[in-house]
Structure 1
């Protein structure tokens, strides 16, 4: 097979996306619909999701990383590092990237896939590479957060 299919979201993620889509379709600017949509979990923000949905999102992100690394990484330094879950800047963006790709793959036309390929994915890669810098994570050896001590000092010095 020349290309692999994009990994389907687990059922809790699919259900969440379906509920959000139903809320978007039924919302005609009414306050009651907007209030109902406000209570729905968004899988692109797993830190705000229930345990089951959050776990499903992270599992799916692992599958998406494997797919990205197979389909788009030619050189090892281009890969999403295996330690991505230890990098908040990557982990925060992956669910958004995954949902955008899933929506693009299920669109009636190719425009959303083109936008994902042209904008969302390259910009994600650029931000990932810039934020990882010269860390050893890009070569397969995880490096702990270099700014952790400065962040801790910032918290200690911050007025409450």
Structure 2
């Protein structure tokens, strides 16, 4: 231990300057391998995967129907959110709130930003990571700040738009929108009917006979 003007100086605690991006668990890694095969694999490999539309996509947690895999994704996103707050945030307004799982829009956004950061880190050049730094991360932070504002600074707050959403899904408003949809459909039907040609449409075939294209009858 050294001293400065007679006062002991404790050396700084050993710690890394930066920390590595959190790696996903084995289940998520397997999901990514299957997605890579679906994208670049052979026809046989793609066929072995089954319906490609049903493959779990870690950047879209709603696509994860296996409970264990879903839990693994939550653990990964928790690690990513903590990593982002530690490695990229200086001003408190850019902090991902600790109640982020209670904000569906943040769940969607963090899943995508985690996926893009993983892909950028695995690239063979720095281009994708520079794009992530320049566009993806700042855009995410700006959207988060615009939506969250200061509602959860001292703890999670109830959804400010809860009352308005309740009105949105009320029977009265749902029926009002359905009436608008039905009116639009009727308008399109009337428009199509008015554009129908009047009288039979004839087409001359090889032997010189005229055929009504609507009924298929030969017209003298």
Return the TM-score normalized by structure 2: 0.66
Gaps of 5+ in 1: none
1:26 deviates by 2.0
Alignment partner of 2:94 out of 67, 73, 78? 78
Q: 1:117 to 1:18 in 2, by over 3 A?
A: same
Q: 1:39 to 1:27 in 2, by over 3 A?
A: farther
Q: 1:140 to 1:68 in 2, by over 3 A?
A: farther
Q: How does 1:6-17 map to 2 (within 5 A)?
A: 6-17=21-32
Does the alignment pair 1:55 with 2:62?
Answer: no
Partner of 1:23: 38
Alignment partner of 2:84 out of 56, 63, 68? 68
What is the root-mean-square deviation of aligned Cα atoms in Å?
A: 2.0
1:149 deviates by 1.3
Aligned residues, how many? 156
Higher helix fraction (1 or 2): 1
Q: Larger radius of gyration, structure 1 or 2?
A: 2
Higher strand fraction (1 or 2): 2
Return the TM-score normalized by structure 1: 0.89
Q: 1:140 to 1:16 in 2, by over 3 A?
A: farther
Gaps of 5+ in 2: 1-15, 179-220
Higher relative contact order (CA 8 A, sep 6+): 1
